[in-house]
Amino acid sequence: MLTVDSPDTCGFDPVRWRAALESIQDLCNQDVLPSAGMFVARAGQTMGTYVFGRQMLAGAPSSIREDAIFLVASITKPIVACGALLLLERGRLALDDRVTEFIPEFGQQDKTGVTIRHLLTHTSGLPDMLPNNQELREQHAPVADFVANTCGVKLDFPSGHRVQYQSMGFAILGEVIARVTGSPCPQFLKDEFFDPLEMNDTALGAPDTWFEGPHPRVDRIAELRVPDEQQEMLDWNWNSRYWRQLGVPWGGLLTTPRDLGNFSSMMLNRGQFKGNSILSPASVLAATRNQLTAMKNLPEEERRCKPWGLGWRLNWSGHSANFGDLLGPSSYGHWGATGTVLWIDPATETLAIFLTTLPQEPRGVHLTRVCNQISAALI
């Protein structure tokens, strides 16, 4: 249970915390960041949710809604990974099971050796995006078409021999979840995580009900400043109804800072939330330790410098998509291309969610600087 209190009671230096808030506000005042939302907690206590900026790109300054919803992109991946871990706990799959056991057609183009472990650790050899990614989006293709096309591609390298970030691995993982459970991945996550964690404003793909009524929930979604290649693609870019409803397992999650705080609190508490066991402690520990150390065919540098848990990114230094410069080796989390970051530090019992509407690339410098300020405010 997260209780709301003052910064000093929550274990933060009030002056440094205020400086962090002022930095974010300045970035939004200057329109460097169109909008931002933040939720930070430590040892079960939080200062609450903070929002900054404008709800719509053309809106008035400080027009952001208190209940704003953000498209968090690849922060989706570790949540989908936790869905797979739940099936592992229940004896429905194992990490070294081959994907073809669940999706026989995935074996095309010599991919029979790819395992669930490879998908979860970005060592499968699958591409990040499909060669015909843009064409599929232009056609408003369903997730099933992305899965089918992934089944037909060749691997970029033999599984287990390199680390390569692969969104399409999570397209396949979502399909594994669906075939094992008989429930679409978005519904499975809602039933097993979002509902029990009281993540009432979270969905992997906005349902039709979000677009209905006099005050549709979709109006709460903060408009993104899309990258250059999406500027003219109004019918399929990140702000389109198509993309918001598609619910891709690699990056389609819509949520709030507070909802993600509930999920992160569950992870920090080794799978527990309000006295209920959502995940086992064993699963949380496995998901957040370096799974690459036992992969003998990986280059030593990748095992050491690009550590992955099971769907969770461990703390990498010297990379734009990091959690700042001040966190220790036990921290983990994820980031998203829409300009989002989530990190959890068991050593200090701290979690931080910082969601913006400015694409993370090319450097993610604003995410890094704010993360540094949050870490520096810890007493």
Give the pLDDT of residue 188.
98
Give the pLDDT of residue 142.
98
Domains and CATH numbers, the chain: 3-70+188-377 (3.40.710.10), 78-182 (no CATH)
304 vs 184, residue with greater confidence? 184
Give the pLDDT of residue 361.
79
Give the pLDDT of residue 1.
75
* Per-residue pLDDT reduced to its tens digit, 30-68: 999 999 999 999 999 999 999 999 999 999 999 999 999
Average pLDDT rounded to a whole number, residues 259-279: 97
| Burial per residue of 187-197, b for 16 or more beta-carbon CB atoms within 10 angstroms, e otherwise | bbbbebbbebb
Task: Retrieve residue 124's tokens.
Answer: 């499968």
Average pLDDT rounded to a whole number, residues 262-276: 97
* Per-residue pLDDT reduced to its tens digit, 87-130: 999 999 999 999 999 999 999 999 999 999 999 999 999 999 99
Alpha carbon separation from 161 to 117, 276, 283, 297 (Å, rounded): 13, 39, 25, 5
Q: Is the pLDDT of residue 76 over 90?
A: yes
Q: Is the pLDDT of residue 311 over 80?
A: yes
Contacts of 212 (CB under 8 A, 6+ apart): none
Give the pLDDT of residue 317.
73
Q: Over 205-224, what HEC string results?
A: CCCHHHHCCCCCHHHHECCC
Could you tell me the pLDDT band of residue 143, with boundaries at 50, 70 and 90? very high
* Per-residue pLDDT reduced to its tens digit, 346-378: 999 999 999 999 998 766 789 999 999 999 999
Q: What percent of the chain has pLDDT over 90?
A: 92
Arithmetic mean of pLDDT over the chain: 96
pTM of the model: 0.97
Give the pLDDT of residue 341.
96
Query: Judging by DSSP bridges, how do beta strands 70-71 and 3-4 pair with one another?
Result: unpaired
Average pLDDT rounded to a whole number, residues 159-173: 97
Task: Retrieve residue 308's tokens.
Answer: 């992955």
Average pLDDT rounded to a whole number, residues 324-332: 93
Give the pLDDT of residue 305.
87
Phi, psi angles (nearest 5°) of residue 56:
-115, 150
Could you tell me the pLDDT band of residue 320, with boundaries at 50, 70 and 90? low
Asked whether 252 and 246 are in contact (CB, 8 A), the reply is yes
Q: Is the pLDDT of residue 321 over 80?
A: no
